[in-house]
Amino acid sequence: MVVVMTQEASQADIDAVCEKARNAGGEAFVSRGAVHTVVGLVGDTARFEAVQWTQLPGVAHVIKIGKAYKMVAADLHPEPSMVSVGQTQVGRATFTIIAGPCAVESVDQAMAATKAAKAAGATILRGDVYKPRTSPYSFQGLGEEGLEILQACRKETGLPIIVEVVDVSHVAHVAEVADCIRVGTRNAQNFELLKECGLTNKPVMLKRGLAMTIDEWLQAAEYVAQRGNSAIILCERGIRTFEPATRNTLDLAGMAAAQHESHLPVIVDPSHAVGRRHLVAPMALAAVAAGADGVMIDVHPDPERALCDGPQALLPSEMEDLGRRIAAVAAAVGRPMNLP
């Protein structure tokens, strides 16, 4: 932590800062500049943060050095992590396609989407049974029945399944059934849910919140890691901006920045980011080229009848085509595809 003094700060002001630092069990080093004097603090950051430095006379502002997350940081774990989901592994070593229906609606719909996903090269299935919907009048998911359908899809294809949890009370049960649990955008700072996920022995996918900085996203991941579960996959899915042409603004550079700051795998969900079918494939390919560790794509055998997010779901034939194009771009950037 660095305390920057105002130009008018007196020697007494500077001394007072140093004394506060010593009172908090730390040390202070003074650097006098032509204009500003700067005091560097060394010690326990948590204790320093409780001090209201900016309320001391002569203090202009305080600069925090160091990050508010540790276990998920690249600093202390420079080797990227591979996270196991069922029999497969997600991380920088391969490129993973996750696909399936946004919401599980019926056996037929889920099975058709699942087969399309596998045919396209997906090695993990997605499918949700609890849907956090903005409007209370929208379809809210099949619940337990949906979980059974997903298990049948897994049996049919041999691929692991990833399922969203929306409440602490679901976590243990979903973690038992699914191969990976997911915390969605609107719950990305539901810290009780994150803590509960940290107590399971299944990998956790954490989507970025609509208004979350990269730094806050990694702090949210730290909540999971702190409880003992560091099998975490981050998922960039668009942030909220002023632009109405797409549902959200896909932040691919943010994805790359998260990879730089953290050892965790970072994948991209272009479907929910753009919300419009014709933009899904370009953004999926862009994600591969940008170095993402995977993509997650909505597929639906009949998007027009989809009960959730139909406008962004790819048809099975479009998904297969996209799978081929992803493989071509991955080859061009020297990235091996994840194989089942």
What residues numbered 15-34 form the site for its own copies, per CB under 8 A? Answer: 29, 31-34
Q: Identify which of 217, 162, 234, 167 has the alpha carbon closest to the alpha carbon of residue 196.
A: 167
Q: Are 223 and 70 in contact (CB under 8 A)?
A: no
Between residue 91 and residue 130, which ones bind its own copies under the rule CB under 8 A? none
Nearer to its own copies, 100 or 303 (CB): 303
**Is 250 near its own copies (CB under 8 A)?**
yes
Q: Are 98 and 297 in contact (CB under 8 A)?
A: yes
Q: Which among 85-93, 108-116, 119-127, 240-248 is the span making contact with its own copies, rule CB under 8 A?
A: 240-248
The single residue among 152, 311, 337, 340 that binds its own copies, judged by CB under 8 A, is 311
Residue identified by tokens 């962004």 is 312
The single residue among 13, 177, 249, 337 that binds its own copies, judged by CB under 8 A, is 249
How far is residue 226 from each of residues 72, 133, 197, 218, 222, measured CA to CA in Å? Answer: 9, 29, 11, 12, 6
**Is 310 near its own copies (CB under 8 A)?**
yes
**Residue 86 DSSP one-character state:** T
Q: Are 143 and 160 in contact (CB under 8 A)?
A: no
Q: Is 103 exposed, middle or buried (0-12, 13-18, 19+ CB in 10 A)?
A: buried
The single residue among 12, 137, 201, 339 that binds its own copies, judged by CB under 8 A, is 137
Q: DSSP of 192-238, one letter per residue?
A: HHHHHHHTSSS-EEEEPPTT--HHHHHHHHHHHHHTT---EEEEE--
The single residue among 110, 285, 299, 319 that binds its own copies, judged by CB under 8 A, is 285
Q: DSSP of 245-258, one letter per residue?
A: SSSSB--HHHHHHH
Between residue 49 and residue 68, which ones bind its own copies under the rule CB under 8 A? 50-52, 54-55, 60, 63, 65-66, 68
> Closest distance between its own copies and the C-beta of residue 19, in Å?
14
Nearer to its own copies, 106 or 189 (CB): 189
> Closest distance between its own copies and the C-beta of residue 157, in Å?
27
CA–CA gap between residue 215 and residue 18 (Å, rounded):
29
The single residue among 12, 134, 155, 201 that binds its own copies, judged by CB under 8 A, is 134
**Is 252 near its own copies (CB under 8 A)?**
yes
Between residue 196 and residue 225, which ones bind its own copies under the rule CB under 8 A? 209-211, 213-216, 219-220, 222-223
